[in-house]
Structure 1
Amino acid sequence: MRIVILPLTVAAAAVAFATPALAQDAAPSAVPTGIEEQMAGDSITVGVAAAYITDYEGSNDYRFTPAPGVLATIKGYTFTLLGNRASVDLIRDNPGPTWDLQAGPIGLVNFNRNSNKSIDDRRIRALGELDTSIELGGFVGIGKTGVITSPYDKLSVTVSYRHDVSNVHDSAIWQPTINYFTPLSRKAAVGLFASAERAGRGYARTYFSVDGAQSLASGLPVYNARDGWKNWSLGVIGTYALTGDLLKGWKAIGGVVYRGMMNDFKDSPVTSIAGSKSQWASALGIGYTF
């Protein structure tokens, strides 16, 4: 069984693995001795979730798949692995209410339509399997800790760029994202995010166009998709400590995302006839922080 991740951004999905946080209503005098030192120290969270996602991008059929994750902060540098996506923030974070500059490499393994075994719709299977693409690039962003509810909530904005280096779709994807994270208590935290993706001509042609031969095989009409804004997403994601607190121990992880397809990606028969412009994804799992 291949492993993928529901379409969460790296920054927003990291909320599910719970960056260290305190209660939003905790007064300074209520902070336990040594807690600030713990928050400034190294932290590693590992987890796995059962994700409920579409069979392919634009599908109206769904399936379950495992989604592993790792979030590690070592000496202020953060590494994130979430299913098929990995990134490293090469700008060191500082503890406490402060500004946070973000920049580093990002990579993604795109499994979209690489196996007909995971696709129910016979028309999409008839279009043919596609190779797995490797998308590499980078991201930049800025965040602010201590914004609205407490000294520990965080608002951030990032922009990432990826390009296919495996010559599958041989084009670029831009992704701006805004997310907000806040602790609700020593045991619970929640995050909200909004994101969008702009895809290049090669991506549109590979995944959303239908040529003459594919039309004869599938019964879908011929369609030539153009580049542009591909989709927008809104999501909520959270975590609850089952043992200890958000700084250490076992925790439950969950999230729900809505994605709306746009422009030629919405109008393509891959989406409008065989699939749906409305996409949902969800995940529920468990993690451990040490």
Structure 2
Amino acid sequence: MNYRHLYTVGACLAAIAAANPAFAQEDSNSLTVGLGAAVIPSYEGSDDYRVIPVPQLRGKVSDFAFWTRGPGLYFDAIPNRDPNELDFQLGPVVTVRFDRSSLKNIKDDAVRDLGKRDVAVEVGGFVGIGKTGVITSAYDNLSARVAVTKDVAGAHGSMVVTPAIEYFTPLSTRSFVGMGVSADYVGKGYGRYYYDIDTAESLASGLPAYSGAGDKAGFKRVGVNLTGGVSLSGDLRKGWALFALAGYSRMLGDYADSPVVSIAGSRSQWAGAVGVGYTF
């Protein structure tokens, strides 16, 4: 399967796997499998779009939670046995980044002429906290987490820090809505690898040379997404459900000023998806 360029929907499509709103936390073991079709930019910063399939997974084993976000896998090593208490989260995360690793998926000729990038494997951990029953009902959920990873595959070779805040609320046992806000803070190697353009690359692509993104670490992107779901069986805790989402993100600072974005692409990044999930 091809999961290239899932940077935009990594946070958004977690909702496709989240068929269980907070009222399902009474189960110590659960599994939701989802499959979505997503519209995303052809690369991070592109103004061209393409459609890709996105499988998702979320579950609990003896109250230890795990979930995917695009091509990333999270495992919470702290069990949450009481949904009425604070949910402290801590554990490992592994993400595979395919951005610009296949030239056939890049529609812009100039960016294609810059050459492909290697696949990055980002390994690290996350910490977070969540609470059920905070605003609208006893079953809504508000959570915040920060993931810190580093590329160990020798691609950009740098760190990625991703803070995120998410809120989900069931409207009934049949439907739910949610919203999430996230950002990416990246190291110098990341900016240099994906956004700087050296002299040879400038001659090959026709884009001007650029070295601003690799000068220092900084916030690369901030984004927001809205999501909703409805059960086909009448109860989101079991059976089939349909989901939809819309997301917007904005490229920031020296990364947005790179010709890869400012000339060949766009600072504004949109994403959308529809999907179906099954909860066992």
TM-score by length of 1: 0.91
Larger Rg, first or second structure (1 or 2) = 1
Corresponding residue for residue 221 of structure 1: 208
Provide the aligned length of Structure 1 versus Structure 2: 276
- The 1-side partners of 2:62 and 2:204 are apart by 55
1: CA distance, partners of 2:11 / 2:181:
12
Whole-angstrom CA distance in 2 between matches of 1:53 and 1:206: 21
Aligned to 1:28: none
**TM alignment of 1:81-92, pairs within 5 A:** 81-92=68-79
Q: How many angstroms apart in 2 are the aligned matches of 1:8 and 1:105? A: 20
The equivalent position to 2:168 in structure 1, one of 178, 181, 193, is: 181
Distance in 2, Cα, partners of 1:236 & 1:255: 6
User: Is the 1:114–1:131 contact (alpha carbons within 8 Å) kept by the matching residues of 2?
Assistant: yes
Question: Is 1:59–1:279's contact at 8 Å kept on the other side of the alignment?
Answer: yes
For 2:75 and 2:134, the matched residues in 1 are separated by 24
Residues 272-283 of structure 1 mapped to structure 2, 5 A cutoff? 272-283=262-273
Aligned equivalents of 2:43, 2:232: Cα separation in 1: 34
Q: Which amino acid aligns with 1:82?
A: R
Q: CA RMSD in A?
A: 1.7
Q: TM-score of the superposition, structure 2-length normalised?
A: 0.94
Aligned partner of 1:240 in structure 2 is: 230
C-alpha distance in 2 between matches for 1:163 and 1:200:
9
2:248 is aligned with 1:258: yes
Q: How far apart, in 2, do the equivalents of 1:77 and 1:244 lie?
A: 27
The 5 A counterparts of 1:149-164 are 149-164=136-151
Summarize the Cα distance change of 1:109–1:174 in structure 2 as closer, same or farther, 3 Å threshold: same
Alignment of 1:100-139 (within 5 A): 100-139=87-126
Identity score, percent = 46
| 1:119 Cα deviation after fit | 0.6
Is 1:43 the counterpart of 2:21 in the alignment?
no
Unaligned 5+ segments in structure 1 are 23-35
State how far apart, in whole Å, the 2-side matches of 1:11 and 1:155 are.
15
Distance 1:121 1:11 in 2: 25
- Offset at residue 39 of structure 1 (A): 2.7
2:17–2:57 Cα contact (<8 Å) kept = no
- Offset, 1:12: 7.5
CA–CA separation in structure 2 for the residues paired with 1:11 and 1:58: 17
Matched residues in 1 for 2:45 and 2:226: separation? 21
Q: Which runs of 5+ in 2 are unaligned?
A: none
Report what 1:13 is aligned to.
14
User: For residues 198 and 210 of structure 1, do their structure 2 counterparts lie closer, same or farther at Cα, with a shift above 3 Å needed?
Assistant: same
Which sits farther off after the overlay, 9-18 or 223-232?
9-18
Alpha carbons of 1:8 and 1:152: their partners in 2 closer, same or farther (altered >3 Å)? farther
Q: Confirm or deny: 8 A CA contact 2:243 2:274 kept in the other structure.
A: yes
Query: Once the 2 structures are TM-superposed, how far is the Cα of residue 15 of structure 1 from its aligned partner?
Result: 6.8
